[in-house]
Amino acid sequence: MNPQLLSLSPNNSSLKSRFTLGFLRALKRLNMQTSSSPSPPQTVSSSSSSSPREMCRRYLRIRIAADASMASAVGSRRAWSRTLLLKIRNRQFRSCNSSARRISMKKKCSGRKMKKKLKCDKEINELRKFVPGGEAMDACSLLDEAAHYIKCLNTQVKVMTRIADIYSAT
């Protein structure tokens, strides 16, 4: 047991460790939810927990949890993490606020002056779709955010691969 892990503070620990802890906690929470469901785990046919719908729901929750823990690990320093957190919280609340925010973001996007007449404008607009929050950014900061986003995605993939290995290895 590593005592350091139990006392990790957001400032000292690395992005990887923050994400790992957050994601594992989220997974634990999700597992508790599913295990508290009426299907007992000792039978082979745990049909309800492995039904496609249930699995699909679980998959979606895990994906959201992964994104959320990644964005929380990054914090509010980056535009993309802020956007992600906002999206996730809006989804949770499911209030009219979410639509209002989306509209405001779209307005910001259309009101932006098209200053850049680069030859690569098409590709840059393509990239906007993939980087969260990229719609309302200019090309320069978009590339900046994309670089950080790629780095964090890499970390995320590594950690999740490791977790999947550990859980599936027998």
Partner 1 sequence: MGSHDNDDMGFQHRNEGSLNCPSSGMSTNPLPEKVSRMAMSSISMFKPSNAPDPFFGSGWDPLVSLSQSDNFGGSSVASQSEYTNHPYPVAMETQGMSSTSHLVQYPSDSSFVEMVPKLPCFGSGSFSEMVGSFGLPECAGISNSGCVANYNPNRDGGIDRTSTMGAQSHDDRQISEEGALGSSPNGKRRKRVPESSPNKNAEGELNKDMSGESSDYLKEQDEKKTKQEENAASNLRGKQTGKQAKDNSQSGDAAKDSYIHVRARRGQATNSHSLAERVRREKISERMRLLQELVPGCNKITGKAVMLDEIINYVQSLQQQVEFLSMKLATVNPEVNIDIERILSKDILNSRSGGGAIFGFSPGMNSSHPYPHGIFQGTLPSMPSTAPQFPSLPQTVLDNELQGLFHMGFDSSSNIDNLGQNASRLKPEL
Q: What is the footprint of partner 1 within residues 4-33 (CB under 8 A)? A: 5-6, 16-17, 20-21, 24-25, 27-28, 31-32
Among 89, 91, 108, 162, binds partner 1 (CB under 8 A): 162
Question: 27 near 68, Cβ under 8 Å?
Answer: no
48 binds partner 1 (CB under 8 A): no
Binding string, residues 64-93; x marks residues near partner 1 by CB under 8 A: --xx-----------x--------------
C-alpha 65/C-alpha 111 separation (Å) is 33
Among 49, 98, 101, 102, binds partner 1 (CB under 8 A): 49
35 binds partner 1 (CB under 8 A): yes
Kindly calculate the radius of gyration of the chain based on its CA atoms and give it in whole angstroms. 19
Nearer to partner 1, 33 or 97 (CB): 33
Interface with partner 1 (CB under 8 A), residue total 72
50 binds partner 1 (CB under 8 A): yes
Among 15, 62, 88, 105, binds partner 1 (CB under 8 A): 62
Question: 72 near 78, Cβ under 8 Å?
Answer: no
143 binds partner 1 (CB under 8 A): yes
Nearer to partner 1, 106 or 116 (CB): 116
103 binds partner 1 (CB under 8 A): no
Torsion of CA 42, 58, 94, 109, to 10 degrees: 170
